[in-house]
Structure 1
Amino acid sequence: MPELSETPNLHAHYLHNPLLPTVLPIQQWKGTPVDKQGNFVNHEFPFNADWRDLLKWQLESNPHRTEKKKNAWQLPVRYEHEWLHHKADCIVWLGHSTFFMRLNGITMLTDPVFGNASLVVRRKAPFPLNPALFQNIDLVLLSHDHRDHCDTASLQLLAKQNPNARYFCGLGMQALVKSATGSNQIQTAGWYQQFNTGNLPLQCYFVPARHWAKRDLFDTNKRLWGAFVLQTNTTTIYFSGDTGYGNHFADLSRIFPQIDYCIIGVGAYKPEWLMYSNHISPANALKAFRDLKAQHFIPMHYGTFDLSDEPLYEPFFYLQEQRTNPEWKDALHLPAAGEAIWV
């Protein structure tokens, strides 16, 4: 396999969790890159959060402002939750980046956010069920520390209802997750590392994403962001977390050549001059799906929180139109929040 894509002369050193195996040999992967200030960096495209860019965006006029105010579209939501008590393998989108999954009898939640993401970022679509119903959850997967993906109140509820749950996340996330859950079952991984799932019939890997991290004023990129690959003897699922488009999708297709379901964000991409480096548009998400050579595509990260300039409905209608193309008809899924996809 060729060397993975990387921006040269950027990284001061590399980190990994010495207690977890790395799935690539040292000749191909030195570890998760860190800069001279001790901050994690994207291994291909560096990204530095600049308050001046944020200010410029806030001062700009949103060309979609009138359109957003007029349109009353709301994300479709299904409130039946028979899948919760079923035994069959399934993937259930619950809005934004929260999924319930069952594989080989193992139950998982990704990036659980059951209510508002913050006092400012309010939920636009209701959560499909009472989150207190989540019991006996085996794994909680946290892609990064942003509040619309890692919510303290949701983690506290999960910890109370699921005292034996294990939490898988990136390097540097230990203290944050511990403070919310009190759990001693937290594993942090570098990119291309495999989590220890013990006797569970499932493999779980942490892989690169093109994004960044920040929760408070002075912690930019102190915690690692990433994506997950889940594997059983019959099914492989890729969950992107938050990511911009990059060569990491093609890299992953060579390391995991038989991805059945890829779950990729398709919202919060405008204005593109600001968002392209850390979020992905619906068009580029389809391109990433091709790069991954996956069989099925499930979009996420739209319709739930208003995080950017585009209207909430724009990703949905764009992808709905793409389904008229025979290339996408059977591969592209557009489930309602709370609707199960049986795998």
Structure 2
Amino acid sequence: METARAGAAGHTAAAGPPAAPAAGIRPHSLTRPLGELRHWPGSFADRLTAPLPGVRAMARLAREGAVRPGPDGLLDIPLLPFAPGPLPSVDTATLAVTWAGHASWVLSIGGLTVLTDPVWSRRILGTPARVTPVGVRWEDLPRIDAVVISHNHFDHLDAPTLKRLPRRTPLFVPAGLGRWFRRRRFTRVTELDWWEGADFKGVRFDFVPAHHWSKRTLTDTCRSLWGGWVLADPYGQSVYFAGDTGYGHWFKEIGRRHPHLDLALLPIGAYEPRWWLSDVHTDPEEAVRAFEDLGARNMAPMHWATFVLSAEPVLEPLSRVRAAWERTGRPRRQLWDLPVGGSRVLTG
């Protein structure tokens, strides 16, 4: 979508000159001030990679009823990987991740603790209760220095979880979503468009495109943006959090603008039926292909083993991503297929 790329930074009104980048960080995108109040268009539908499903597709989905796995798939739920442990001990030069489940990660980077798409609730709207517990108890979390949100779908933007946060918690959110947070009295909200970034306590937060969409109510389809995040510390370490996305051209562009990514957190679940979900959710093979497009060093799968959102058997994403990884010939140690609650520290 070349028109969307060309206009990505042109919809906003600046509240002052761009902020200077944090020391030691080379900005890969336009730098915006923290907490800037901005004006956005009424719709971001021009950023869609593919049209949203119409009436015929909805009718087909209702006719086929292929929304959840059959009984055989549900039998595997007790076997899902769940191995909570203590959070890693880190210093300012350590990059560490802990998978809390679904798209929720506890990131340690540049001395900060950052949550991604935090969902600690047992149930989300329209979906059966989570099939694995949260991998990190809320009371075991350290002080949260920042939160990044990829988009406003209920399995990524969970109001009950966010209500637990202090209202002065710094939040980094997509364009058009700041109002939702300010209505809930959050006071440090930074909204970014694609290819924009902000610097916070030595860490760079860059918002990058995704092949997805947004909707939370009957009247707000695509009225806020969707995307992923690249976080980089002053030591040159970086992690890409994809949020929710289908496969497409954006991954190569993200890799070009953010070379030498140390870790890519990529979704591998909620992909069946493909005719319904391929535009907005990668399957395991596409996730590995996206990883290769990015040119990242390590990959950690996510967006599976937590909520039953689609029709594939619940353990299938893990077996398929491992098989796809093996076919690449890459070292097995670079696939961080963590259990829910598992952690990994970047070394070397």
TM-score range, shorter chain: 0.7 to 0.9
State the distance in 2 between where 1:71 and 1:136 align. Answer: 35
SS in 1 for 2:322: helix
Please tell me whether the aligned partners of residues 74 and 125 of structure 1 are also in contact (alpha carbons under 8 angstroms). no
Please tell me whether the aligned partners of residues 8 and 193 of structure 2 are also in contact (alpha carbons under 8 angstroms). no
Deviations 1:120-168 (A, max 9, x none): 3421110123213334211100000000000000000123xxx442000
Specify the alignment match of 2:213 in structure 1: 212
1:219 CA displacement? 0.5
Specify the alignment match of 1:249 in structure 2: 251
- TM-score, normalising length from structure 1? 0.85
SS in 2 for 1:187: strand
State the distance in 1 between where 2:153 and 2:45 align. Answer: 16
Tell me which of 81, 95, 103 is aligned to 2:101.
95
Please tell me whether the aligned partners of residues 139 and 168 of structure 1 are also in contact (alpha carbons under 8 angstroms). yes
Specify the alignment match of 1:239 in structure 2: 241
Specify the alignment match of 1:31 in structure 2: none
Percent identical: 28
Tell me which of 32, 43, 60 is aligned to 1:56.
60
State the distance in 2 between where 1:95 and 1:175 align. Answer: 27
Specify the alignment match of 1:275 in structure 2: 277
Deviations 1:40-64 (A, max 9, x none): 1364724325354234213204395
Q: Is it true that 1:191 corresponds to 2:197 in the alignment?
A: no
Please tell me whether the aligned partners of residues 127 and 307 of structure 2 are also in contact (alpha carbons under 8 angstroms). no
Deviations 1:227-274 (A, max 9, x none): 001111231111101111111001111111111101110111111111
State the distance in 2 between where 1:167 and 1:334 align. Answer: 28
State the distance in 2 between where 1:8 and 1:218 align. Answer: 22
State the distance in 2 between where 1:82 and 1:133 align. Answer: 8
- TM-score, normalising length from structure 2? 0.84
Aligned Cα RMSD in Å? 2.7
SS in 2 for 1:263: strand
1:178 CA displacement? 2.3
Tell me which of 73, 76, 81 is aligned to 1:76.
81
Specify the alignment match of 1:30 in structure 2: none
SS in 1 for 2:163: helix
Tell me which of 121, 134, 144 is aligned to 1:127.
134
SS in 2 for 1:211: coil
Please tell me whether the aligned partners of residues 7 and 45 of structure 1 are also in contact (alpha carbons under 8 angstroms). no
Specify the alignment match of 1:28 in structure 2: none
State the distance in 2 between where 1:124 and 1:130 align. Answer: 16
State the distance in 1 between where 2:12 and 2:287 align. Answer: 28
Q: Is it true that 1:111 corresponds to 2:112 in the alignment?
A: no
* 2:210 alignment partner AA: A
Tell me which of 67, 72, 75 is aligned to 1:67.
72
SS in 2 for 1:94: strand
State the distance in 1 between where 2:252 and 2:241 align. Answer: 15
* 1:179 alignment partner AA: R
Return 9-18 or 249-258, whichever deviates more.
9-18
Listed as ranges, the gaps of 5+ residues in structure 1 are 26-33
Please tell me whether the aligned partners of residues 7 and 44 of structure 1 are also in contact (alpha carbons under 8 angstroms). no
Tell me which of 279, 290, 293 is aligned to 2:292.
290
State the distance in 1 between where 2:339 and 2:330 align. Answer: 22
State the distance in 1 between where 2:294 and 2:210 align. Answer: 13
Tell me which of 131, 149, 170 is aligned to 1:166.
170
Deviations 1:179-206 (A, max 9, x none): 34x2110010100001242xx1111100
Cα distance change on mapping 1:17 and 1:256 into 2, 3 Å: farther
- The structure, 1 or 2, with the larger RCO (C-alpha pairs under 8 Å, 6+ apart) is 2
State the distance in 2 between where 1:262 and 1:113 align. Answer: 20
SS in 2 for 1:157: coil
Specify the alignment match of 1:341 in structure 2: 344
Return 261-270 or 315-324, whichever deviates more.
315-324
SS in 2 for 1:56: helix
* 2:14 alignment partner AA: P
Aligned residue pairs, count = 322
* 1:231 alignment partner AA: A
Cα distance change on mapping 1:237 and 1:129 into 2, 3 Å: closer
